[in-house]
Amino acid sequence: MRASTVACLTLLAGCAAPAPVVTPRVSGGNPADGIVTLASTRTLFDPVEPDWRAALATADNQCRADGRAPPARFAGEQTSCELYDRGGRCLRATRTRFYSCGE
């Protein structure tokens, strides 16, 4: 009986673990205006969380690559659902953040 209790508690602890973290990727922007766009996609069955600290470092690097000065500043966020199931649940969503490069 004790072994089954330990097994159940171990399974419950695994369910309480935080979602995995991924680094958002560059998904667009406008180099002429100094805008960098980074995005991260999550699904209903793979609920990852974006690492926005790493995203800021990526935005800084992209600003440099575009000939702009860092640091990049957060300029807004957008979340959009790309795929719904029959019950109206969002199966795949993309979170996009916009960064403005320094002058």
Question: Over the stretch 72-85, which tens digit does the pLDDT of each residue have?
Answer: 888 889 999 999 99
Q: Identify the pLDDT of residue 64.
A: 92
How many domains in the chain? Answer: 1
Domain that holds residue 71: 19-102
In this predicted structure, the answer to whether residue 91 has a pLDDT above a threshold of 60 is yes
21: confidence class by pLDDT, cuts 50, 70, 90? confident
Distances (CA, A) of 83 to 43, 90, 91, 100: 9, 6, 5, 29
Closest CA relative to residue 99, chosen from 66, 85, 82, 86: 66
15: confidence class by pLDDT, cuts 50, 70, 90? low
SS (H, E, C) 35-103: EEEEEEEEECCECCEECHHHHHHHHHHHHHHCCCEEEEEEEEEEEEEEEECCCCCEEEEEEEEEEEEEC
pLDDT digits (tens, 9 = 90+) for 42-69: 998 888 899 999 999 999 999 999 999 8
Instruction: Check: pTM over 0.85? Answer yes or no.
Output: no
Domain contains 53 = yes
Domain contains 78 = yes
Domain contains 5 = no
Q: Identify the pLDDT of residue 96.
A: 95
